[in-house]
Amino acid sequence: MPAGPSPRRGAQWIALASLLCAFVLQFLGAFLPNAPLLCAATAAGVGLDLSLRRWQPGILALLAKLHCDEAVRQLLRDLLIVVGLAHLSGLATGARLALVGGLPACYAAHFLCRALGVLVRRSRTLPIVTRNIDTSGLRLTPAPPRPLMRPGRRMPLFAVPATTGMLATALTDRTAWGLLGVAVSFALFAGGTAYLATWLLPGKRPPDDERTLEWFARWLADYRPDVGLYFSGGSGTAYQANMWLSTLAALDARPLVVLRERGMVQQIAATDVPIACLPKVAHLMLLEHSSLKMLLHPANAPKTSQVLRIPTIKHAFTNHGESDKLSSCNPYAKVYDEVWVAGPAARRRYALADVGVDDRDVVGGGRPQLTPIRPADGPPDPAGPVTVLYAPTWEGWTNDPGNTSVLLAGENIVRALLADPRVRLLYKPHPMTGSVNPKAGEADARIRALVEEANAAAAPRGPVRRLPARGAAERGALAAPAAGEVREAREVREADTAVPGPGALGVTVPADGRSPAEQARLLAELARRTEELDALTARAFRPGADEVERMTRQTAPELGRAEAVAAATEAWREAFWAAQPPRAHLVLTGTRPDLYSCFNQAAVLISDVSSVVADFLASAKPYAVVNTSGLSEDEFRAANPTVRAATVLPPDATGIRELLDAVLDPARDSLAAERAALKEYLLGPADPPSIVRFQDAVRALCAAADARRERQARVDTAAAPPELPVTGPSGRGVPQ
């Protein structure tokens, strides 16, 4: 089924056409001449420009790329008004000169303010960005008001008095209105420029790079971190680091998160662990002289090679998940001191891949973050729906059709599931779906449309009940975006940290027999839990706050905050799932609910060859893997150990009914014993617990770092040249 036209794309075209129409009508009003038409068209253009700033910022960004930014648009409006005044009224020469001369003065002040904004922004770009670190020693100040730093907000807003005054002159033929409006606009532009200039004075100017780096070096010496998490990545990849935050915080150590991209600081999830972003390599080298002993690496990135230059730090590659994909045994892994894997399967994978990773450097540390996954407690209730989680991976960086099932099998799988009355579908696509191959994004949009249609068909007759959209990450989640919109929509979903979840998707869902009062109570409880969790985790800053101001707000968290966040998160999960009608099919995007929470709700998983399968095995529940690789089933199982205990589904989704029968009737589940064995093979033994094994691996690598430092200290002492006597100019010894 082809994706329908995007409502958002249609709205953008309508807005662009309306803006163009306003200029055309203003042109006609100026040259006919027609004062009412000129005034109405100008007012419509200004109002539309201001409203687009809030509702359709993408249109204005596109116009800016075409060199038709806010200054150009406002200048065109003002010129048309001046032309209209010349045709409509007999203004005196002096008045006309005053008006025409006042407008350039306003624009001059605007561009001066724009130049000052660049200087202020540069002065407030510190070499280090932090979270959860006390920055009071830097004496940082709040950012300037947003209109002063953003020309797109300042120009149309400050120009309103001048535009209004000149239009009043065109209607009344009285020069005073135009002069008054231009004077007010000039006062706003000039006053804003003077006020912005105060941020360059010593009292408001942040410390220079040298003082900031000295402060950070002192903080490192006082805090004395020993275990860190190093991460570098683009938008949409923060989940790779976020999955390790709870493990890092649980270690018996002084942890630190080290980032490289400024934008990533706010994408890291709520945590008590100190976060430091060091964009430049020269500043990254400050870690060499710190107490940091080791770094965990959840992902390979080009900037990883830069931190590997630091000899005083040991490096362990933990990856952000393990699967049978080639990326899980990347040859780059041999640059690390150790490669930490979950269980024997990954160790064997590296041995078979023969990519240069010595088996002695492979450490079985387990997957401590899988602790929240609850084991199966028996088959689902036959009277209730069978909750099926379809969580395909993304298309990857290659064109291998076996990477994701969304392209070749996704729609077939979803249709087969929706056609079975026993099924309640949870569809949770990978957050990067469509980022490389637009066709994957289009297929994802069609799958969402299928879910929407199924919910609409199951909804009771009468007034349609649609749950209110509450989160930016979920608004329009079931729309079918055009290929060019997939990346933008995905980034918005990933960045959103206050997502109430798919119960607030605006999706038509069946009532499932609940009374309106009961459903309203559950939604109210979800709203309350969302507010509580947001109060603890959401990073709500005033409009216009920059990274320096955010540093002053995100200082060391209060004692016990981590426990409060964990409790509030669990309460939110319970409220969220309780608020969803039991038979409603859901599309799950954004950060809430998390994948492991979906695992606990599902009776069976359908996925691709990915780390999702290995993680789901912690529950010991049945699962299926989709084979779109072109291999036979036997070849597919032989090539992918994670498939050994799975039901293999072909692209046409044949076998889903048999899979559901096995879920409902344990007597038909012939793979239960195989799953238990595969769980230990992939994730390691249950005893000792994974967090214990991980902590032991941390201690061992920290001890190796300490031993190396001691050896180097002895080597440096032994290699030091003998002390020479101090002599004067004549060569004779100088008394000491």
DSSP 576-643: HHHHS-TT--EE--SSSS-HHHHHHH-SEEEE-SSHHHHHHGGGT--EEEE--SS--HHHHHHH-GGG
- HSE of 432, CA atoms in CB hemisphere, 13 A: 16
Which among 427, 429, 450, 451 has a CA at the least distance from the CA of 440?
A: 429
683, 343 contact by CB (below 8 A): yes
- The total of other beta-carbon atoms located within 10 Å of residue 91's CB is 19
What pLDDT sits at residue 479?
31
Q: Return the exposure string of 159-174: e unless at least 16 CB atoms fall within 10 Å of the residue's CB, then b.
A: bbbbbbbbbbbbeeee
Backbone angles phi, psi at 666, to 5 degrees: -55, -25
The secondary structure of the chain in percent helix, strand, coil, rounded to multiples of 5, reads: 55, 10, 40
What pLDDT sits at residue 494?
36
Single-letter amino acid code for the residue at 724: L
What pLDDT sits at residue 325?
61
Instruction: List, for the chain, all residue ranges whose pLDDT scores fall below the cut of 70.
Output: 1-8, 89-90, 323-328, 399-402, 459-513, 538-540, 558-559, 719-736
Domain 386-461+581-683, CATH: 3.40.50.2000
- Listed by start position, the domains of the chain span 18-200, 224-366, 386-461+581-683
Give CA torsion, residues 482, 487, 489, 491, to 10 deg: 180
Q: Is 398 left (phi over 0), alpha (psi -120 to 50) or beta?
A: beta
> 224-366 adopts what CATH topology?
Rossmann fold (3.40.50)
Determine if the pTM surpasses 0.85.
no
What pLDDT sits at residue 6?
54
- Measured CA to CA, the distance from residue 264 to residue 246 in angstroms comes to 18
Q: Collect all residues with Cβ–Cβ distance below 8 Å to 257 and sequence separation of at least 6.
A: 228, 229, 231, 241, 245, 248, 268, 271, 273, 274, 275, 276
Sheet of 623-626: strand order equals: 586-587, 423-427, 386-391, 604-607, 623-626, 647-649
The answer to whether domain 224-366 and domain 386-461+581-683 are alike in fold is yes
What pLDDT sits at residue 514?
75
- The total of other beta-carbon atoms located within 10 Å of residue 308's CB is 15
- Measured CA to CA, the distance from residue 436 to residue 397 in angstroms comes to 7
Single-letter amino acid code for the residue at 623: Y
Is there a cis peptide before residue 593, judged by omega within 30 degrees of 0?
yes
Which among 655, 482, 591, 721 has a CA at the least distance from the CA of 243?
A: 591
What pLDDT sits at residue 540?
66
